[in-house]
Chain A
Amino acid sequence: MTRARHTAERLIPGRGSLARRQAALLRLSTGIAAAQDEAAVYRAVVSGLHDEALGYNFLGVFLLDEENGDRVLQASVGWPGVPDRWRVPHGSGVSERAIDDGTLHYTPDVTRDAQYLPSLNSGSEIDIPLQVEGRTVGVLVVESSEPHAFGDDDFEILTAAAMQAGIAVGRARLLDAERRRADEHKALLDTMRDLVGELELSRALHAVLERAVSLLGVTGGEVAIYDEDRRELVVVASEQIGKDSTGTRIRLGEGAMGAVAETLEPLIIPSYHEWLGQSAQYADVMVHSVMAAPLTIGRRLVGVIATVHADPQRVFGREDLRLLESFTPQAAIAIENARLFTAERQRAEEQKALLDTMRDLAGELELSRVLQAVLERAVTLLGVTGGEVAIFDEERGELEVVASEHIGKDSTGTRLKPGEGAMGAVAQSLEPLIIPSYHEWLGQSVQYADVMVHSVMAAPLMIGRRLVGAIATVHSDPARIFGPEDLRLLNLFAPQAAIAIENARLYSAAQRQREYFETLVSNSPVAIVTLDRDHNIVSCNPAFEKLFGYPRSEAIGRPLDSLITTEATRSEAESYTRQALDHLIHGIGRRCRKDGTLVDVEVLGVPVIVDGERVGLMGLYHDITELLTARREAEAANSAKSQFLASMSHELRTPLNAIIGYSEMVQEEVVEMGEEGLAADLQKIHTAGRHLLSLINNILDLSKIEAGKMDLFAEWFDVVEMLDQVTTTVRPLVDRNGNALVVERNGDLGRMRSDLTKIRQMLLNLLSNACKFTEQGTITLRVEREREAGRAGGETVVFAVSDTGIGMTPGQMDRLFEAFAQAEASTTSKYGGTGLGLAITKQFSHMLGGDVQVESAPGSGSTFTVRLPANLDVPPHEAVDSD
């Protein structure tokens, strides 16, 4: 197999979407199946493949001329100037290879192939052998003007098309041969009718009757034929009985012949007019005595012969009867021959009619109807009692009976495992099977134990090498058995049933896919509407009906934007719609329901593009009324909270300022007055007031950060100057626990641009913490400038605060930066503090584009390291006017 795997970019332009291609393949497949003769199959193949959605523009089907090896064109598309029946001689053109070895050949670049026959489309070519009954009979040639135009998809599609064409051609040829045979048969019978037709029968019977009359020396007689359908005798020959009785119809039991027909015994009536069984139809004849005898083949009645004496002197005796019976076989055989001949001619006519009607089925898509019709025709044409068709369910690996006809029960719905019963057996062996006596057969299925079946013939239904079902026909008459001729006839129906099943499968796959998407849309909680290019509604889903209050019937065909907008929002909505025809849009808007109420919606619009053409757009509406209400409520609540905190902190701070201020002032005054003893108490009031104030400030800071209302103010400042201020401020705290403060300034720190107030606050937080948790130890503030580019792309200033205090466990460190989380609740009472300082420090460090980290171990102190960009990238006046 020289089928090259090909992964180059697809070059065939205008390829359709998957759904369009599936639809095109279904059309191709039904077109092939509906073809009424071989030539129509070839036309269906090329026209089906020459579909926009498939994109094959240059293609043809050749048949191999077996006499000289030429390829002869049967049908083509896109080859202007190429004659009908164009012959490509043996030995030229690349398509011969597919015929030679019976496999697909891909020539990605034909200009590099010496055997290529130059044409307009000198790009790439695929050649797929066309096989009928396993024999290569021709080739399907598909060309592109571009090299490397085809890929695996094409191999699959074209192989499938060639396979279906092969099946259809096989069937067309079979059907064609069968029709010819039926035509010939009928013509022969028609000729014979003229020679030995009905006239001949009546003449033959007349001759028999005449001879009988003269030999028996009777006055006259009659011969009647038994009409099985009407269970009546029809008089066809009449001689000297006093009237011409030809055409008289006689019921069983009526008159002499009717009596004989009923009893199948000869009868002598000495005096007809005194006989009780006489028929009113013979009341006026000049008859005295009558003798009648049945004409039979085996035990089957075919007619009656009767002779009469008009002379009262003559009566019939045993010898007369013996003589009459010597004529009966002749008459019976003549009648039977004529009957068989008529029946045969009738069957030939029926066959021809049936074969003609088979093509009517091909376009039908409803599987059970097609299969039932195929089965009915098969039953009639094969002259069998009944039959069944089953589909192979690939998922469950079982056959399911879908059509059933006269097998003694309705077997529709019966499921058969491979190997079970006649159809199960052929599904397993993939070979046809004839079972002469079903109930003696070891493979019989218990599901068919009760059917009136004698012999069975079954065949698998195949598409290529794939099993799609099985067909079976049965005789309940033990006298009938199946032979090779029956199998040949069954093969007329099998391919049609197989193609019908395959088409139904393709159709239902396409249908399922469509249903899948339809279900998605109709169950979506989001309102979905599609519009044409003029903005008119094409479809909408139940969620749309519910959201806007318009039933589908009312919405469809109307312009969307006049339906669900008010004057105020119309132009905005129309602008969305216009844009969405071109590209995806997303927005928030307010739309109007049918009852006039407004609804806030999130709108998503996308163009609907089918095969590169903008056919309209799809709009999705999500009701966000609740969302907006919730947001407004949240915003209101948040703003109330901020307002409360702002006024609360102001209200708290005013009296606090008095406490702090007066305690400080009075302290100064008592010192001046020499009342030192009171000064210490006043200092305690002052310290407590300060603590309370810092608590309030921190809470206010955190709530501002949470609300996103903490403003940044970036300014240039000298780092060393800032450090001096901070250390001056923190000095009293350092001294309180007998600690030493060491400031290490590594290198030139220079200036930085950031929020000075926040950095000061962070450093004071860290330093005062260090002081709090360290006694008689050392607090170190180490500062350095990292010249290499930091996270934000510029230089970084690093502030590290270390202490020799109590330290922390890893578990304590985990919660360190959360609000109100001092390492342990117990530490709060011992060391004081709000537990908010580190949370604020962390938030500030992030706001300033940096971070804060901690290293610690219990008993060996802690180090907090703040890293900040040296040049904070925010506008100098960002959001100054909040608060």
Chain B
Amino acid sequence: MPKILLVEDNEMNRDMLSRRLTRKGYEVAIAVDGRDGVEKARAGGYDLVLMDMSLPEIDGWEATRLLREASETQTVPIIALTAHAMSGDRERALDAGCDDYDTKPIELERLLAKIQAQLNRNA
């Protein structure tokens, strides 16, 4: 069962997305801010990170950079989630080291396709 770390500060989004992913057959762990996310990710054991970009403490951009710097998380797939459907965000996310990105609100089918693509790539 693939393990996903969901880094998301908004409680409702976190609850909703984790429940939906769980129902689709993923094991979901949760981090509530950037620092928490980086710590949990570096502790290891995740197949993929879903990273909200606007986070307290350390934002998603910085967290992604830290994960890419650390050897143990260098290759873990990261999908960025941004609230703004701006054309620049995609490029920015890829530049920051993310493997893909998606916009909120989540369209579950679309996100699932992206998650599966990353997992397949790393399999």
Select the stretch in A97-105, A319-327, A659-667 that faces chain B.
A659-667
Closest to A701 in B: B85
Contact for A883 among B19, B86, B108, CB less than 8 A: B86
Interface pair A668/B20, CB less than 8 Å apart: yes
- Contacts A662-B12, A662-B16, A665-B20 given; does A657 touch B88 at CB 8 Å: no
Q: B91 near A: Cβ within 8 Å?
A: yes
Q: Which residues of B contact A881 (CB under 8 A)?
A: 88, 92
CA A758 – CA B16 in complex, angstroms? 30
**A812 → chain B closest CB, angstroms:** 31
Q: B116 near A: Cβ within 8 Å?
A: no
Interface pair B105/A883, CB less than 8 Å apart: no
CA A807 – CA B19 in complex, angstroms? 46
**A293 → chain B closest CB, angstroms:** 135
Interface pair A713/B91, CB less than 8 Å apart: yes
Closest to B20 in A: A665
Question: Which residues between 695 and 745 of chain A lie within 8 Å of chain B, taking CB atoms?
Answer: 697, 711-713
- Contacts A665-B20, A668-B20 given; does A658 touch B83 at CB 8 Å: no
Question: Which residues between 837 and 883 of chain A lie within 8 Å of chain B, taking CB atoms?
Answer: 877, 880-883
Interface pair B87/A658, CB less than 8 Å apart: no
Select the stretch in A53-61, A131-139, A648-656, A766-774 that faces chain B.
A648-656
Interface pair B85/A697, CB less than 8 Å apart: yes
Q: Which residues of A contact B105 (CB under 8 A)?
A: 653, 656-657, 660-661, 693
Interface pair A665/B88, CB less than 8 Å apart: no
**B9 → chain A closest CB, angstroms:** 10
Interface pair A658/B88, CB less than 8 Å apart: no
Interface pair A654/B106, CB less than 8 Å apart: no
Q: B10 near A: Cβ within 8 Å?
A: yes
Q: Which residues of B contact A662 (CB under 8 A)?
A: 12, 16
Q: Which residues of B contact A693 (CB under 8 A)?
A: 105
**A205 → chain B closest CB, angstroms:** 131
Q: A755 near B: Cβ within 8 Å?
A: yes
- Contacts A693-B105, A883-B84, A883-B86 given; does A658 touch B91 at CB 8 Å: no
Q: Which residues of B contact A755 (CB under 8 A)?
A: 87
- Contacts A668-B20, A693-B105 given; does A661 touch B87 at CB 8 Å: no
**A671 → chain B closest CB, angstroms:** 12
**A179 → chain B closest CB, angstroms:** 100
Interface pair B86/A658, CB less than 8 Å apart: no
Closest to A878 in B: B88
Contact for A880 among B16, B85, B91, CB less than 8 A: B91
Contact for B16 among A661, A697, A756, CB less than 8 A: A661
Interface pair A658/B20, CB less than 8 Å apart: no
Q: B13 near A: Cβ within 8 Å?
A: yes
Q: B17 near A: Cβ within 8 Å?
A: yes
Interface pair A658/B12, CB less than 8 Å apart: yes
CA A756 – CA B105 in complex, angstroms? 20
Q: A357 near B: Cβ within 8 Å?
A: no
Q: Which residues of B contact A882 (CB under 8 A)?
A: 88
CA A757 – CA B85 in complex, angstroms? 9
Q: B104 near A: Cβ within 8 Å?
A: yes
Question: Which residues between 68 and 82 of chain B lie within 8 Å of chain A, taking CB atoms?
Answer: none
CA A694 – CA B65 in complex, angstroms? 32
Interface centre among A656, A664, A712, A756 (most CB of B within 10 A): A664
Interface pair A657/B87, CB less than 8 Å apart: no
Interface pair A883/B88, CB less than 8 Å apart: yes
Question: Which residues between 185 and 232 of chain A lie within 8 Å of chain B, taking CB atoms?
Answer: none
CA A661 – CA B84 in complex, angstroms? 16
CA A668 – CA B16 in complex, angstroms? 12
B residues in contact (CB < 8 Å) with A = 10, 12-13, 16-17, 19-20, 23, 83-88, 91-92, 104-106, 108
In the complex, given contacts A664-B108, A883-B88, what are 9 additional A-B residue pairs having Cβ atoms less than 8 angstroms apart? A657-B12, A658-B13, A658-B16, A661-B17, A662-B16, A668-B23, A713-B87, A757-B87, A880-B91
6 sampled A-B residue pairs with Cβ under 8 A: A657-B13, A657-B106, A661-B12, A661-B13, A664-B108, A665-B19
* 7 tightest A-B CB contacts, nearest first: A713-B87, A657-B105, A658-B12, A757-B87, A880-B88, A661-B16, A660-B105
